[in-house]
């Protein structure tokens, strides 16, 4: 079970979360047709330096970058390399920051060149964002992590999308990944612990336009859909309070 955070600890997590939001803002601006994925990593790194924060992605289990940049059928953990973005690409970006030992972690998806360049991708992104906020709304004192999974799955299935099973949300605090796991797919096997005020968790739905069967590429990081269908990813770090959930990774 995740340890409950004190107000002082949550304030530090809010600082880290704000840096993550600034990284997202900078990467969105830089993610234009013709940009290299490695350009996005550089831009995110510059935000970290300016903010006096460090990356919780770089070096994590050997990961070689400060963000994950996952285009089109890449589900997550895409390494930002020399590939160029094209107009209409669906791009998912996941990154984090650490301030004074406290973590923030969040992800977003976008259509390169604007939603009109790929309406199918834009619709998928709209669904994953709806699923994210439905999952966040389910974070209530006395509830269970399964409430999040039910909310996410309900939104995704209503839109004809599938939910990736094996990658889940998580507790967050002194470590990027803490207990409890927060599944996205309902029903699920395993623990279904209660949520308590003071806990901080990352809600992280990942959905696909086709079947949510995935495999890891030979680089050991990149995860793709087996059928080549599009995937979208969204995430916020959230503090659970008696008055409801509070997003930590927003400006």
In CATH, the number for domain 7-247 is 3.90.230.10
177 annotated ligand binder: yes
pTM over 0.95: yes
pLDDT at 1: 61
pLDDT band at 238 (very low <50, low <70, confident <90, very high): very high
204 annotated ligand binder: yes
Q: Is the peptide bond before 222 cis (omega within 30 degrees of 0)?
A: no
105 annotated ligand binder: yes
Average pLDDT in the chain: 98
Q: Mean pLDDT across the stretch 55-70?
A: 98
162 annotated ligand binder: no
Which tens digits make up the pLDDT trace of 32-54? Answer: 999 999 999 999 999 999 999 99
219 annotated ligand binder: no
Of the candidates 202, 201, 210, 203, the one whose C-alpha atom is nearest the C-alpha of residue 229 is 210
94 annotated ligand binder: yes
67: CB partners within 8 A, 6+ apart:
23, 27, 40, 41, 44, 57, 80, 93, 94, 95
Which tens digits make up the pLDDT trace of 74-116? Answer: 999 999 999 999 999 999 999 999 999 999 999 999 999 999 9
235 annotated ligand binder: yes
């Amino acid at each position: 079970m995740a340890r409950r955070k004190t107000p002082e600890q949550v304030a530090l997590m809010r600082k880290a979360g704000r840096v993550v939001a600034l990284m997202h803002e900078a990467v969105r601006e830089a993610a234009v047709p013709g940009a290299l994925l490695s350009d996005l990593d550089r831009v995110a790194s510059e935000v970290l330096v300016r903010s006096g924060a460090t990356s919780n992605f770089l070096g994590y289990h050997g990961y070689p970058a400060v963000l994950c940049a996952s285009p089109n059928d890449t589900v997550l953990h895409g390494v930002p390399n020399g590939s160029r973005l094209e107009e209409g690409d669906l791009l998912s970006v996941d990154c984090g920051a650490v301030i004074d030992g406290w973590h923030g972690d969040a992800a977003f998806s976008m259509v390169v060149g604007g939603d009109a360049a790929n309406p199918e991708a834009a619709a998928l992104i709209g669904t994953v964002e709806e699923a994210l906020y439905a999952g966040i709304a389910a974070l209530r004192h006395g509830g269970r992590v399964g409430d999040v999974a039910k909310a996410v799955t309900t939104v995704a299935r209503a839109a004809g999308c599938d939910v990736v099973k094996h990658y889940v949300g998580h507790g967050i605090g002194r470590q990027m990944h803490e207990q409890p796991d927060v599944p996205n797919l309902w029903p699920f096997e395993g623990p279904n612990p209660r949520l308590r005020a003071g806990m901080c968790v990352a809600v992280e739905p990942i959905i696909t336009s086709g079947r949510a069967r995935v495999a890891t590429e030979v680089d050991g990081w990149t995860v793709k859909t087996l059928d080549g269908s599009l995937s979208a990813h969204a995430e916020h770090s959230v503090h659970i309070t008696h008055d409801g959930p509070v997003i930590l990774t927003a400006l």
